[in-house]
A and B are shown apart, each in its own frame.
Chain A
Amino acid sequence: MAINLSINGVSHSVDIEPETPLLWVLRDAIGLTGTKYGCGISRCGACTVHVDGQATKSCQTAVSAVAGKKVTTIEGLSQDSSHPVQQAWREVGVPQCGYCQSGQIMSAAALLQKSPKPTDRQIDEAMAGNICRCGTYQRIKAGIRRASQISGA
Chain B
Amino acid sequence: MTDVNLSRRALIQTSVGAAGGLLLGFHVPQAHAAKTESRPWTTPTKGVEVNAWLAIDPDGTVTIRVPHTEMGQGGMTSVALMIAEELDVEWSKVQAVFADANRHLRNNKEYVTMFTAGSQLVWRQHPHIMQAGASARERLKEAAAQAWGVPRAQVAAKQGVLTSGARRATYAEFASAAAAVKLAEEPAIKQAKDWWLLGKDVLRLDIPHKVNGSAQYAVDTRLPGMVYAAVKASPVPWGKLKSFNFEAIKNRPGIVGAFELRAVPGKRGQPDMQDAVAVVADSWFRAKTALDLLPVEWDFGESAKVDNAALSAHAKKMLGETGLMTKEEPKALEAIAASKKVVTAEYERPFEAHLRMEPINATVHVQDGRVDVWSPTQDQSVAIQLVANQVGVPEKDVFGHTMFLGGGFGGNGAGGTAVTRQAAELSKRLKRPVKVLWSREEDVAQDKQRPMSAARLSASLGANGLPEAISTRAVWFSLDKANQWGPATADYGIATMPYIIPLRHHERHNLDTHVPSSTHRAPGANQTGFMIESFVDELALAGGWNPLDWRIEMTKGKDDWQRVLKTLKEKSGYRTDLKKGEGMGVAAVECHGTIAAACATVTVSRRGQLTVEKIVVVADCGHVINPRGAVEQIEGAAIYELSHAWHGGLDMRGGRFVNTNFDSYNLLRIDQAPEVEAHFALTGGKKWGGMGEPAGPPVPPAVANAIFAATGKRIRSTPFRLHDLSWA
A75's partner among B8, B209, B212 (CB-CB below 8 A) is B212
Bound Cα distance A146, B11 (Å): 13
Find out whether the CB atom of A99 lies under 8 angstroms from the CB atom of B635. Answer: no
Nearest residue, chain B, Cβ from A34: B213
Query: Which residues 47-101 in A have Cβ within 8 Å of B in the complex?
Result: 73-75, 77-78, 81, 85-101
Binary contact track B168-205/A, C-beta < 8 Å → 1, others 0: 00000000000000000000000000000000000110
- Residues of chain B lying within 8 A (CB to CB) of residue A94: 207, 211
Q: Does B47 contact A (CB under 8 A)?
A: no
B72's partner among A17, A134, A139 (CB-CB below 8 A) is A134
Q: Does A118 contact B (CB under 8 A)?
A: no
A90's partner among B207, B283, B406, B675 (CB-CB below 8 A) is B207
Nearest residue, chain A, Cβ from B405: A97
Q: Does B721 contact A (CB under 8 A)?
A: no
Bound Cα distance A142, B207 (Å): 16
Shortest CB–CB separation between residue A20 and chain B, in angstroms? 6
Nearest residue, chain A, Cβ from B628: A93
Q: Does B357 contact A (CB under 8 A)?
A: yes
- Residues of chain A lying within 8 A (CB to CB) of residue B636: 96, 134-136
- Tell whether A74 pairs with B283 under 8 Å between CB atoms, given A41-B663, A81-B208, A99-B357: no
Binary contact track B196-228/A, C-beta < 8 Å → 1, others 0: 000000011011111111111101101000001
Q: Does A2 contact B (CB under 8 A)?
A: no
- Tell whether A43 pairs with B30 under 8 Å between CB atoms, given A34-B214, A37-B359: no
Q: Does A133 contact B (CB under 8 A)?
A: yes
Bound Cα distance A35, B71 (Å): 18
- Residues of chain A lying within 8 A (CB to CB) of residue B217: 36, 99
- Residues of chain A lying within 8 A (CB to CB) of residue B228: 28
Find out whether the CB atom of A138 lies under 8 angstroms from the CB atom of B675. Answer: yes
Q: Which of A27, A92, A99 is most buried by chain B, counting CB atoms within 10 A of its CB?
A: A99
- Residues of chain A lying within 8 A (CB to CB) of residue B210: 95, 98, 101
Bound Cα distance A135, B667 (Å): 10
Range of interface residues on chain B? 35 or more
B670's partner among A33, A134, A137 (CB-CB below 8 A) is A137
Find out whether the CB atom of B213 lies under 8 angstroms from the CB atom of A41. Answer: no
Q: Does B285 contact A (CB under 8 A)?
A: yes
Shortest CB–CB separation between residue A46 and chain B, in angstroms? 6
Nearest residue, chain A, Cβ from B677: A138
Q: Which of A20, A37, A46, A136 is most buried by chain B, counting CB atoms within 10 A of its CB?
A: A37
Q: Does B580 contact A (CB under 8 A)?
A: no
- Tell whether A93 pairs with B204 under 8 Å between CB atoms, given A20-B285, A101-B211: yes
Find out whether the CB atom of A43 lies under 8 angstroms from the CB atom of B662. Answer: yes
Nearest residue, chain B, Cβ from A135: B639
Binary contact track A122-147/B, C-beta < 8 Å → 1, others 0: 01110111111111111111100110
Bound Cα distance A102, B38 (Å): 14
Find out whether the CB atom of A81 lies under 8 angstroms from the CB atom of B212. Answer: yes
Find out whether the CB atom of A28 lies under 8 angstroms from the CB atom of B284. Answer: yes
Find out whether the CB atom of A133 lies under 8 angstroms from the CB atom of B355. Answer: yes
- Tell whether A128 pairs with B670 under 8 Å between CB atoms, given A138-B676, A146-B16: yes
Find out whether the CB atom of B213 lies under 8 angstroms from the CB atom of A97. Answer: no
- Tell whether A123 pairs with B670 under 8 Å between CB atoms, given A95-B210, A133-B407, A150-B21: yes
Bound Cα distance A81, B215 (Å): 13
- Residues of chain B lying within 8 A (CB to CB) of residue A75: 212-214
Bound Cα distance A123, B661 (Å): 24
Find out whether the CB atom of B638 lies under 8 angstroms from the CB atom of A135. Answer: yes
Q: Does B437 contact A (CB under 8 A)?
A: yes
Shortest CB–CB separation between residue B479 and chain A, in angstroms? 24
Find out whether the CB atom of A32 lies under 8 angstroms from the CB atom of B213. Answer: yes
Query: Which residues 634-688 in B have Cβ within 8 Å of A in the complex?
Result: 635-640, 643, 661-663, 667-671, 673, 675-676
A137's partner among B23, B73, B283, B673 (CB-CB below 8 A) is B673
- Tell whether A138 pairs with B673 under 8 Å between CB atoms, given A90-B30, A101-B210: yes
Query: Which residues 400-416 in B have Cβ within 8 Å of A in the complex?
Result: 404-409
Bound Cα distance A36, B407 (Å): 13
- Tell whether A40 pairs with B440 under 8 Å between CB atoms, given A93-B203, A95-B207: yes
Bound Cα distance A28, B153 (Å): 58
Find out whether the CB atom of A124 lies under 8 angstroms from the CB atom of B671. Answer: yes
B661's partner among A29, A43, A78, A96 (CB-CB below 8 A) is A43
Q: Does B6 contact A (CB under 8 A)?
A: no
Shortest CB–CB separation between residue A150 and chain B, in angstroms? 7
Find out whether the CB atom of B213 lies under 8 angstroms from the CB atom of A73. Answer: yes
Q: Does A31 contact B (CB under 8 A)?
A: yes
Q: Does A115 contact B (CB under 8 A)?
A: no
Bound Cα distance A129, B662 (Å): 11
Q: Which of A78, A92, A129, A130 is most buried by chain B, counting CB atoms within 10 A of its CB?
A: A92
Find out whether the CB atom of A131 lies under 8 angstroms from the CB atom of B669. Answer: yes
Shortest CB–CB separation between residue B44 and chain A, in angstroms? 22
- Tell whether A142 pairs with B285 under 8 Å between CB atoms, given A97-B404, A97-B406, A131-B662: no
Nearest residue, chain B, Cβ from A97: B72
Q: Does B632 contact A (CB under 8 A)?
A: yes
Bound Cα distance A84, B439 (Å): 33
- Tell whether A31 pairs with B222 under 8 Å between CB atoms, given A39-B662, A44-B357: yes
Find out whether the CB atom of B439 lies under 8 angstroms from the CB atom of A40. Answer: yes
- Residues of chain B lying within 8 A (CB to CB) of residue A127: 669-671
Query: Which residues 281-320 in B have Cβ within 8 Å of A in the complex?
Result: 283-286
Bound Cα distance A130, B211 (Å): 15
The 8 closest A-B pairs by CB, nearest first: A34-B213, A135-B639, A99-B406, A97-B72, A98-B210, A96-B72, A74-B213, A124-B671
Could you write out 24 A-B pairs with CB less than 8 Å apart? Answer: A35-B213, A36-B357, A38-B359, A40-B661, A41-B661, A75-B212, A86-B211, A89-B211, A96-B632, A97-B356, A98-B207, A98-B404, A99-B217, A124-B671, A127-B670, A128-B670, A131-B357, A133-B409, A135-B668, A136-B636, A137-B668, A137-B669, A138-B9, A145-B16
| Given A98-B72, A138-B635, 8 further pairs, Cβ under 8 A | A20-B285, A86-B211, A94-B207, A95-B207, A99-B217, A99-B406, A139-B632, A150-B21
